[in-house]
Amino acid sequence: MITHKQLSLADIFTDCQNKFDYDKYQFLELLENTINLDEIVPASFVSHFHAATDRPRKHLLYPMLKALLLQLIFSIPTTSLLDDEFMTIVFDRNTEATELLLNIILGRNDMEVTEVVAQREYKNPVTGGRSIKLDIYAKGSDGKVYDIEVQNENAGADVRRARFHSSMLDTKMLKEKQKFREIHESYVIFITKNDYMKMGLPLYHVERTIQESGALFGDGAHIIYVNGSYKNDSDPVGKLIHDFRCTSAVDMFYQELAKSVRHFKETEGGRSQMSKTMEERINREKDKERIDCSYEYIKNLVVSSNL
């Protein structure tokens, strides 16, 4: 239990490592009534905050610091939807959030999503060929399919990667003897943390064209890059990007996103579910790594034995 003798910041963090649920309420009371932030926060930091924000009264600073303490001590996630792991957890089987996202990016208001799955794997049929795992796979009532990816690094948003994702979507479109004209439209959507195209635009639509005329080729394959650094709270795309960058649900514009983020970040059940999901994914990756290592070992053994 937390006692009055353990009110140094280091002791608080140490004591909370093995906390029980009933400790939380006692700690909140101590944080509010007993902890003197004047004894914890350096005066130089307070002065710098006042100068940088032009907010002279310290009580405006202290609620922010208390919120940060709560996040650190109780492990409230500070990630945003631009983190692909968190984004996939929020959007998995979440048709409401997916419809909102697609309506905004595609400039529609009538999206009807029938299926949303996170971390869907597309295996390459070629032996030794590269497979992919989609962040979010979605399918509309009209049969169109969507691959929604979050890329924090420019290397992950390579244009050839977008091309590869598009081609892999096509491999699952047709059954044996189906006509090619029956293939559905596909959308690969890369939401990038940075402005990958470096043109300052919110969206970049990539379409095949006939060079001689400039007319669209019209093969039904679409690639869209979303600029995650775009800032404009007066238009829907800007608001969407704002929400993707938010670490707190209270700051979000769209309630379709905020309520899911709030669930996974601020409720006991949501945080438990998120931890369980992350643990399962880590275990799957470990199993896959063990399988790959075993495969390589056997292959090398066969080669070295001239079998």
| pLDDT tens track for 95-147 | 999 999 999 999 999 999 999 999 999 988 887 889 999 999 999 999 999 99
Per DSSP, the three-state class of 136 is: strand
φ, ψ at 170 (rounded to 5°): -65, -30
What confidence score (pLDDT) does residue 70 get? 56
Is pLDDT of 173 > 60? yes
Smallest CA-to-CA distance from 244 within 147, 150, 135 is with 150
Predicted confidence (pLDDT) at residue 17 exceeds the cutoff of 50 = no
**Degrees to nearest 5, angle at CA 206 with 203 and 212:** 135
Instruction: Mean pLDDT check: name the lowest of 128-142, 202-216, 235-249, 288-302.
Output: 288-302
State the pLDDT confidence band at 275, using cuts at 50, 70 and 90: confident
> pLDDT category, 72, cuts 50, 70, 90?
low
Q: Could you give the CA distance from residue 85 to residue 227 in angstroms, rounded to a whole number?
A: 19
Query: What pLDDT does residue 269 have?
Result: 84
pTM: 0.70
Q: How far apart are alpha carbons 102 and 115 in whole angstroms?
A: 13
Report, as an integer, the average pLDDT of 158-166: 97
Which of the residue ranges 35-49, 127-141, 189-203, 239-253 would you say has the lowest mean pLDDT? 35-49
- Residue range 14-24: mean pLDDT, rounded: 47
Q: Which of 13-22, 46-55, 175-184 is the least confident region?
A: 13-22
Q: What is the mean pLDDT of residues 191-220?
A: 97
